[in-house]
Structure formats: structure tokens, C-alpha cells
């Protein structure tokens, strides 16, 4: 597909690298020559210097024949104008990044009138991911499917866990829960495991289970953490604002430390939370705010290094759950080696959402991508498909007779609102939602899971 990306910042770079890797024809527009040059060299894409809201620049990028325009500049207004102009020129689809909370309701009302195919909000996406991680503190990462009925969780297996040195085939009778191990990351190598795969201490495990089985499963595995009731948040920016709207519906109390007085006033006016107007990097401020008694600490500063340092400090205070906001993913593996287990990346989440939309544009009518998540440090994908038609060689065939491609696992089937953790005699049927985990293979349609 011919895709134009307006904005070569952190989000634009993440999107560009993923779409270029899937062999799309990508053009990047940006006002900074250095960013365009770097992207052109790394990703082998066309770079154009200019303002994406300028019609002459859009014409130079051949927007009139584009399949998709993605506007992700730092300015919401430029993104909206760019998409509106591109549609007038003839672009088939447009996606705009709109981050300002004040625009959220407006965009929901006017998206169709403005001919926007999709809007993305990295800070809102990050807040939703944070909220899921607070709901399940035992997991380092949580992705939800089928309206929250199915959870895909990641965690590091501790040496004292009773499932260490056990083959996967031994686990179901022992744990007495419905679950499926979808992937194992060991020594930076990703495995889609079979029944004879033996788990080892230090493995990063991706596991799917129904929502109502997770707590029992965590207890049986030996990684259960008490529910979070009190969270300390460092930084009062947009991610925190969106997160507070979610926390307001829960039983989780929060204290926010933010030194910008204007942000503090906004939070105190809009939410029932405790706000400390001070520097969240100061030890005395943290101690006075109760860091040693907090159930969780979220370091959500705009600076990655600050978030890493404050997360390490929280570990010395023995805070049970620590989540770090990291924008630059180059050092994520290094940060994890330092003991930062739960890391959230707004640009990565947004790039995955856009990738799902692009894949949906190229698929056939037999299935529809409902959601797509990068998991296991980006080494695998979890995709939920709605099966819209009968498909020869896939539907109404026992899974034990199905021959999926190497590196592909059918992780879950939702049939008539019933969550099925599949076994050999289960079948995929028309109307089902199917969760697929894949390592290395690009999947655009449910048909792609078989050779």
C-alpha cells in the first residue's frame, strides 16, 4: 500500500519502521531535515521536507493517490488539518493523532464528519495499559481481548515457583485452571512451546486465561500480589490525567506528585485524588508522600532517565508494583536487566493500533482483525480475529487435524460468548473470535495461519 506518514518524531519513527518492514510504500513528511534523513537511511523510505498541512507538500508526496495518510506531528490541529486536506485531495483513508483531553469528546462526535478513518491517542492508550497492569499487579504486562473476558499476561518465572522445571503437559492437572502458555522468552530467544517444553527460572512467560481464572492461577504459580489500593504517581501530565479518569471508577486511591502548579490545579479540580505540588525526584518529598507504604509507584515523567532512576529508587523502598514510562525503546532490554519488569511505551502501543488498521485494510472478507498487540518485547504478536465465513481447511475441523504454520499458536476461541482454552478436539467455527499468537510470521487474515 502507498502510505504517507506526517511527523517523524518518536511515534512516527515507530510506525514507519513497522510499516516499512512489512514492505509498504512509505513516504515521510517532516519539518526537520535531520529526522527525515535518518529515517530514509534506516527504513529505506522516501522523505519530504515540509509542513504536512501544506497542500503543495501533500501533492508533492502524491497524497491524491495514497491509500492511507497518518498524521502524528506534535500538534493536534496540524494533524486534523493535514488529514482533512488529504481527503479532499483524494487519499482513501486518514489517521490523526489527537492527544488533548479537551478534544476527545469532540473527535468522537465529529470523526465521521471530518472524514477521519481513525484517531489515535498515545497517552490515552498508555493510561489504559497502566490501568490493566494495576488491576493485575502480579503480571508485568496485560493485554485484554473480547471486551475484557480474556487476558494475555506476561510475567517472569521466579526460581521458587512450583512450575519451575516442569513440562507444560504436566501443568494443567497440577494447577487446575484454564490457561495456555502462548510463548516463552529465554535468553532473548522466543519460543512457541509444545507440550514437552520445560519451564526454567527466569523465563518470561506469556499466558492466556479467562479473566475469572487469573487470580487462582497466579496463586498456584506463586507470583500472586495483593490487589492495589494505593498508588503513588510521579508526574501529572496527560498520561496521568487519562489514568485518573479510569481510577475514578475503581477502588484504587492515588497520590500525584507534580511540580507544575497549573497541572496540579487541573488535577485537583477534575479528580478526587491527592496532589502534592513538589519535585517528585526529591527523596524527602517521596518519603512524605508515603512511598514506603504505597502498593504501587508509577514513574510517568517526560524524561526516560528520570523514570528509570525513580523506579530503581522505588525498588529500594520495596514498593510491590513499579511501572516505568519509557519513550525510547532502544534501551528497554538494558532497563529490564536492571530490574525494571513493568515498562509502558505509548508510541509502541499506538504503532500496534495503527498496524492493526493497516492489516485490516489488506485482508479478505472471511475474517476481521479485532485487535493486535505486540508482546514479548516485540518478538511476537497476539491478534484477535472474528471469523466471518466458513473457511475450507480451518473451520469445523478439530484443531488436532489443523496444520498451522511454524511459530503460530491458536491461544483461545470464543464461541457463542463462551471462552475456550483450546484442546485437540475443539474447532473454529463461523462467528467465533479466535486469538492467534505468532512469532515471526505476518498474519493479515485467519487464512494465513495455515500453509
- Same-domain status, 35 and 103: yes
What lies within 8 Å, CB to CB, of 243 at 6+ separation is: 127, 130, 131, 233, 298
Q: Predicted confidence band at 79 (pLDDT cuts at 50, 70, 90)?
A: very high
Please check whether residue 200 lies inside any domain of the structure: yes
Length of the chain: 451
Please check whether residue 333 lies inside any domain of the structure: no
- Same-domain status, 241 and 314: yes
Give the bridge partners for 324, in sequence order. 299, 343
Question: Which CATH number characterizes residue 79's domain?
Answer: 3.40.50.720
Please check whether residue 14 lies inside any domain of the structure: yes
Read off the pLDDT of residues 402-418 as tens digits, 9 standing for 90 and up: 988 888 999 999 999 89
Please check whether residue 351 lies inside any domain of the structure: no
Task: Provide the domain limits for residue 208.
Answer: 130-221
pLDDT of residue 43: 86
Mean pLDDT of the chain: 90
- Same-domain status, 180 and 211: yes
Share of the chain above pLDDT 70, in %: 98
What's 376's DSSP letter?
Answer: T
Mean pLDDT across 204-209: 92
Q: Predicted confidence band at 428 (pLDDT cuts at 50, 70, 90)?
A: very high
pLDDT of residue 6: 96
Please check whether residue 58 lies inside any domain of the structure: yes
Read off the pLDDT of residues 158-203 as tens digits, 9 standing for 90 and up: 999 999 999 998 887 788 778 899 999 998 899 999 889 999 999 9
Output the pTM of the full model. 0.87
Q: Predicted confidence band at 240 (pLDDT cuts at 50, 70, 90)?
A: very high
Mean pLDDT across 130-139: 93
Mean pLDDT across 112-137: 88
Contact between 381 and 391 (Cβ < 8 Å): no
Which letter, b or e, does each residue of 101-121 get, where b requires 16 or more Cβ atoms within 10 Å of its Cβ? Answer: bebbeebeeeeeebebbbbbb
3-state SS string over 285-309? HHHHHCHHHCCEEEECCCCHHHHHH
408-415 vs 141-145, strand pairing mode:
unpaired
> Which of 91, 120, 149 corresponds to the end of one domain?
120
pLDDT of residue 90: 94
Query: What's the CA gap between 330 and 24, in Å, rounded?
Result: 23
Q: Predicted confidence band at 260 (pLDDT cuts at 50, 70, 90)?
A: very high
Read off the pLDDT of residues 307-363 as tens digits, 9 standing for 90 and up: 999 999 999 999 999 999 998 877 777 887 788 889 998 888 888 889 888 888 877
Contact between 263 and 237 (Cβ < 8 Å): yes
In the chain, how many domains are there?
A: 4
> Which of 70, 100, 120 corresponds to the end of one domain?
120
- Same-domain status, 200 and 256: no
- Same-domain status, 145 and 250: no
- Phi, psi (degrees; rounded to nearest 5) at 217: -65, -45
Mean pLDDT across 130-151: 88
- Same-domain status, 288 and 306: yes
pLDDT of residue 82: 94
What lies within 8 Å, CB to CB, of 330 at 6+ separation is: none
Question: Which CATH number characterizes residue 210's domain?
Answer: 3.30.70.1450
- Same-domain status, 72 and 6: yes
Please check whether residue 325 lies inside any domain of the structure: no
Amino acid at each position: 500500500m502507498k502510505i504517507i506518514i506526517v511527523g517523524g518524531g518518536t511515534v512516527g519513527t515507530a510506525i514507519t519502521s513497522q510499516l516499512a518492514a512489512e514492505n509498504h510504500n512509505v513516504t515521510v513528511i517532516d519539518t526537520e531535515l535531520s529526522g527525515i534523513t535518518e529515517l530514509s537511511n534506516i527504513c529505506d523510505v522516501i522523505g519530504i521536507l515540509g509542513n504536512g498541512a501544506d497542500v503543495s507538500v501533500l501533492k508533492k508526496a502524491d497524497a491524491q493517490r495514497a491509500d492511507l495518510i497518518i498524521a502524528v506531528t506534535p500538534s493536534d490541529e496540524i494533524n486534523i488539518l493535514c488529514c482533512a486536506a488529504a481527503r479532499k485531495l483524494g487519499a482513501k483513508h486518514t489517521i490523526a493523532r489527537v492527544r488533548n483531553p479537551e478534544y476527545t469528546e469532540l473527535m468522537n462526535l465529529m470523526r465521521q464528519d471530518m472524514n477521519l478513518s481513525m484517531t489515535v491517542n498515545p497517552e490515552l492508550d498508555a493510561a489504559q495499559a497502566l490501568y490493566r497492569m494495576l488491576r493485575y499487579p502480579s503480571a508485568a504486562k496485560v493485554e485484554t481481548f473480547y471486551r475484557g473476558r480474556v487476558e494475555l499476561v506476561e510475567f517472569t518465572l521466579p526460581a521458587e515457583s512450583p512450575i519451575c522445571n516442569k513440562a507444560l503437559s504436566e501443568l494443567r492437572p497440577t494447577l487446575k485452571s484454564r490457561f495456555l502458555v502462548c510463548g516463552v522468552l529465554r535468553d532473548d530467544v522466543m519460543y512457541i512451546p509444545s507440550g514437552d517444553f520445560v519451564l526454567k527460572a527466569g523465563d518470561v512467560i506469556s499466558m492466556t486465561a479467562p479473566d475469572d481464572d487469573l487470580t487462582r492461577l497466579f496463586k498456584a504459580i506463586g507470583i500472586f500480589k495483593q490487589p492495589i489500593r494505593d498508588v503513588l504517581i510521579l508526574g501529572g501530565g496527560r498520561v496521568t490525567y487519562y489514568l485518573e479518569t479510569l481510577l475514578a471508577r475503581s477502588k484504587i486511591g492515588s497520590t500525584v506528585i507534580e511540580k507544575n502548579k497549573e497541572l496540579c490545579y487541573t488535577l485537583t479540580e477534575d479528580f478526587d485524588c491527592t496532589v502534592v505540588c513538589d519535585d517528585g525526584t526529591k527523596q524527602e518529598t517521596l518519603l512524605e508522600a508515603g512511598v514506603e507504604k504505597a502498593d504501587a509507584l508509577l514513574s510517568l515523567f517526560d524524561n526516560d532517565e528520570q523514570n528509570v532512576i525513580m523506579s530503581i529508587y522505588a525498588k529500594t523502598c520495596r514498593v510491590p508494583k513499579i511501572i516505568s514510562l519509557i519513550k525510547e525503546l532502544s534501551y528497554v532490554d538494558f532497563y529490564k536487566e536492571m530490574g525494571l519488569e513493568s515498562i509502558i511505551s505509548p508510541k509502541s502501543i499506538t504503532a500496534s493500533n495503527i498496524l492493526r488498521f493497516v492489516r485490516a485494510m489488506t485482508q479478505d472478507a472471511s475474517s476481521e482483525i479485532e485487535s493486535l498487540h505486540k508482546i514479548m518485547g516485540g518478538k511476537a504478536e497476539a491478534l484477535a480475529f472474528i471469523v466471518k465465513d466458513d473457511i475450507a481447511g480451518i473451520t469445523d475441523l478439530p484443531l488436532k487435524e489443523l496444520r498451522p504454520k511454524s511459530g503460530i499458536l491458536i491461544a483461545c476461541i470464543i464461541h457463542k460468548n463462551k471462552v475456550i482454552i483450546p484442546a485437540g478436539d475443539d474447532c473454529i467455527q463461523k462467528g467465533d473470535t479466535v486469538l492467534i499468537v505468532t512469532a515471526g510470521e505476518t498474519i493479515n487474515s485467519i487464512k494465513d495461519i495455515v500453509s
